[in-house]
């Protein structure tokens, strides 16, 4: 019986494997550098991968990601067994895929011959030379036989054909037959390709410039945008002359701690909210209590007519029909509403101090985004998704770059004018922000370099950088805003000083607990609570020596296990409480409460150049 088993196998019909029996390409290069390609692909369909037909991938850019140049492909027609067959084209960033076959029906099992014809512009690269990947490396099936027949209107000075995996330099013979050049290869496994290299006399064929005319136009547009931005900046964006920045020992009249943060840093954030809460507490309108489970805000004095608009808006939003509010997730909606009310009121007051001048910035940014989107659409051969990504990247780079430059300017200003803030870290932060700003347009610039050339890359980089820089430069302070900001910078300089000799040199008044407590909300707003706490340590020590601690209690608006105003000894913990427990602890609790819940021309080689791609069944 064992001897008869092989005989039974002979009775079982053998199933043919799906394979490319023949890949024959006819290439015709005319004197204008246009290449016309006719491919005949003989396959066996067994309804495994080849059901409705085959697809053919064509690379629009070289397989080497660092090679420059693109081609334009126009599909001329498709046949199946000598008759027209439906086809559709899908384009992506670096390739297009042509589906051959009727999507409504399966192709009959057995052997079939597909034919695809297309025209290629831009295949000739500097040299001039043509490096054409005939079959492509990414076929899903082995290729039993591959051959290329090349016709050229200009006689080549060198012809070579390479076969094998990507990068292989193994050659196969090229034979000349009646004005045509023929190369053949057999048994190409998936991943292998047949590639043709033809070199021509210098100047004999036109070479597409790789997008440099587009680059020159883009550079002209970047120069025009720079001129328009400079004109808008000179007319609208230059800050008026303000008073000199000298140490100031009291906040300016009519400026709250949250508004001080906005004028100095340009930020409406959690710290502005925290400074507003502390200022309301320091003015006697609320008290803070820290228990075992967290912080709680209690309403104290409901009379708000004397408060500045932003503080009044914050107070009213905090205590709508309630006497107290816990800083916990259960009260997240109320806390967020209070923050929004504060920010809205700050936005209304900001108009008196700062002109946004947003029209020139948004006009330039949106125009640049549209232009780069259209450029990406053209470079990616009609890929709408790539164009959309390019436009959104341009918009994001402008906004994020503006923020980076703003942060760098703030760090540099702190380095120059506020000596008590550890100058070297501030200088390092400014350099880091500037480095990130300069690196932000690089990805778009690299894409433009690989696809279009150095002029286009320089223009794209310049456009993105211009939008970011003038997004920062165009907003300008009013005369009132410049004066108040200079006053606040002087206050920041005073708050940052901890050396008593320096305080004496600048003529500062004696540090008393009451005076430093009054400045505490502004220190929080400007990020200077730590140096203020060190000075308060000395002031409280002097008060205890003079037995004044009980007569001049501080921070009576706070209740917690760390501090009891009735206990003079506990006042020694006030500096630590200010710089760590109260400011950082309250800020961390507030963020937790309001945070939303989590819910990749040289010689030739196999696979090089353009063309190529591959194919498979569908």
The vertex-38 CA angle with 37 and 40, nearest 5°, equals 140
Contacts of 166 (CB under 8 A, 6+ apart): 63, 137, 191, 193, 605, 606, 607, 608
With b for 16 or more beta-carbon neighbours within 10 A and e for fewer, the 73-112 pattern comes to: bebeebbbeeeebebeeebebbbbbbbbbeeeeebeeeeb
Distance CA 328, CA 349 (A): 30
- Relative orientation angle of helices 257-265 and 309-318, to the nearest 10 degrees: 120
- By residue count, the chain amounts to 618
**Which stretches does DSSP call E strand in 102-226?**
110-121, 124-125, 129-133, 138-139, 143-152, 158-165, 171-172, 174-177, 180-188, 192-199
Name residues whose C-beta falls within 8 Å of residue 174's C-beta, 6 or more positions apart in sequence.
159, 160, 161, 181, 182, 183, 196
Count of beta carbons in the 10 Å neighbourhood of residue 463 = 29
Ramachandran angles phi, psi of 508, nearest 5°: -70, 145
> What's the pLDDT score for residue 212?
47
214 within 8 A of 448, measured Cβ to Cβ = no
HEC sequence for 444-463 = HHHHHHHHCCHHHHHHHHHH
Q: What does the CA dihedral 24, 28, 34, 37 come to, rounded to 10 degrees?
A: -20
Q: How far is CA 398 from CA 107, 363, 364, 433, 465, in A?
A: 52, 12, 10, 14, 7
Through-space distance between the first and last CA atoms of the chain, rounded to whole angstroms: 43
d(CA 337, CA 343) in angstroms, rounded, equals: 10
* CA 201 to centroid of chain Cα atoms: 45
537 to each of 177, 474, 512, how far by Cα in Å? 98, 43, 10
Please list the alpha-helical segments (H only) found in 351-441.
Answer: 358-379, 384-417, 423-439
| Cβ proximity of 468 and 398 under 8 Å | yes
The confidence score (pLDDT) of residue 93 equals 59
* DSSP per-residue string spanning 256-282: -HHHHHHHHH---SHHHHHHHHHHHHH
How buried is 265 (Cβ within 10 angstroms: 0-12 exposed, 13-18 middle, 19+ buried)? buried
| pTM score of the predicted model | 0.63
d(CA 328, CA 275) in angstroms, rounded, equals 18
Say how far apart CA 337 and CA 548 lie, in whole Å.
41
- pLDDT value, residue 202: 85
Provide the pLDDT for residue 226: 86
Would you call the peptide bond into 480 cis, given omega within 30 degrees of 0 as the criterion?
A: no
- Residue 477's nearest CA partner among 311, 356, 387, 320 is 356
Token pair for 430:
């400014």
- Pairwise CA distance, residues 162 & 526, whole Å: 68
Q: What are the φ and ψ backbone dihedral angles of 60, each rounded to 5 degrees?
A: -90, -10
What are the backbone dihedrals phi and psi of residue 282, each rounded to the nearest 5 degrees, phi first?
-65, -30
**What average pLDDT values come out for the chain (618 residues) when binned by 10 residues?**
43 61 90 89 88 85 53 87 89 78 88 91 82 84 89 87 83 85 88 87 72 66 86 82 85 91 87 90 87 82 84 89 83 86 90 86 87 75 74 88 86 69 73 89 80 78 89 87 89 86 86 87 87 84 66 73 59 67 77 62 49 62
CA distances from 335 to 296, 320, 343, 396, 578 (A): 12, 11, 12, 29, 22
DSSP-derived pairing of the beta strands 143-152 and 20-29: parallel
Please give the structure tokens belonging to residue 319: 């205590």
């Amino acid at each position: 019986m064992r001897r008869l088993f092989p005989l039974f196998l002979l009775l079982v019909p053998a199933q043919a494997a799906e394979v490319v029996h023949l890949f024959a390409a006819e290439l015709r290069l005319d004197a204008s550098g246009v290449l016309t390609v006719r491919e005949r692909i003989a396959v066996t369909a067994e309804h495994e991968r080849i059901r409705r037909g085959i697809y053919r991938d064509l690379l629009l850019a070289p397989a080497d990601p660092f090679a420059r140049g693109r081609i334009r492909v126009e599909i001329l027609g498709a046949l199946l067994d000598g008759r027209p067959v439906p086809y559709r084209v899908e384009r992506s960033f670096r390739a297009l895929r042509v589906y051959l076959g009727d999507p409504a029906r399966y192709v009959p099992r057995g052997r079939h011959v597909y034919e695809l014809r297309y025209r290629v512009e831009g295949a000739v690269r500097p040299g001039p030379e043509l490096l054409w990947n005939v079959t492509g490396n990414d076929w899903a099936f082995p290729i039993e036989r591959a051959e290329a027949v090349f016709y050229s209107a200009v006689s080549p000075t060198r012809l070579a054909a390479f076969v094998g995996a990507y990068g292989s330099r193994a050659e196969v013979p090229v034979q000349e037959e009646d004005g045509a050049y023929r190369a053949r290869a057999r048994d190409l496994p998936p991943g292998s390709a047949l590639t043709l290299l033809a070199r021509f006399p210098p100047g004999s064929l036109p070479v597409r410039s790789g997008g440099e005319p587009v680059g020159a136009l883009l550079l002209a547009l970047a120069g025009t945008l720079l001129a328009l931005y400079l004109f808008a900046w000179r007319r609208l964006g230059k800050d008026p002359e303000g008073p000199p920045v000298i140490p100031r020992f009291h906040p300016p009249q009519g400026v709250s701690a949250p508004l001080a943060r906005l004028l100095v840093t340009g930020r409406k954030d959690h710290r502005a909210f925290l400074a507003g809460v502390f200022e309301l507490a320091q003015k006697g309108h609320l008290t803070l209590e820290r228990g075992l489970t967290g912080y709680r805000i209690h309403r104290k004095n409901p009379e708000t007519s004397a408060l500045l608009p932003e503080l009044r808006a914050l107070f009213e939003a905090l205590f709508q029909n309630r006497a107290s509010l816990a800083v916990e997730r259960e009260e997240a909606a109320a806390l967020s509403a209070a923050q929004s009310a504060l920010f809205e009121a700050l936005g209304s007051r900001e108009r008196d101090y700062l002109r946004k001048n947003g029209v020139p910035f948004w006009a330039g940014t949106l125009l640049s985004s549209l232009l780069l989107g259209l450029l990406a659409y053209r470079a990616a051969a009609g890929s709408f998704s790539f164009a959309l990504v390019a436009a959104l990247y341009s918009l994001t780079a402008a906004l994020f770059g503006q923020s980076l430059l703003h942060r760098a300017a703030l760090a540099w200003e702190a380095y120059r004018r506020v000596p008590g803030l550890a100058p070297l870290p501030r200088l390092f932060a400014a350099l880091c922000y500037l480095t990130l700003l300069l690196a932000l347009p690089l990805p778009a610039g690299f894409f433009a370099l690989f696809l279009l050339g150095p002029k286009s890359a320089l223009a794209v980089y310049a456009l993105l950088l211009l939008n970011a820089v003038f997004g920062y430069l165009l907003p300008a302070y009013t005369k009132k805003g410049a004066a108040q900001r200079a006053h606040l910078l002087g206050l920041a300089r005073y708050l940052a000083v901890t050396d008593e000799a320096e305080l004496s040199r600048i003529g500062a008044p004696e540090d008393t607990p009451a005076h430093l407590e009054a400045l505490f909300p502004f220190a929080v707003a400007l990020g200077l609570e730590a140096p203020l706490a060190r000075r308060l340590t000395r002031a409280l020590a002097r008060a205890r020596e003079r037995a004044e601690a009980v007569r001049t209690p501080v921070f009576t608006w706070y209740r917690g296990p760390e501090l009891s105003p009735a206990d003079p000894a506990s006042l020694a913990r006030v500096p630590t409480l200010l710089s760590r427990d109260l400011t950082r602890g309250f800020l961390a609790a507030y963020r937790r409460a309001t945070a939303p819940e989590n819910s990749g021309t040289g010689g030739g080689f196999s696979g090089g150049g353009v063309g190529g791609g591959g194919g498979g069944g569908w």
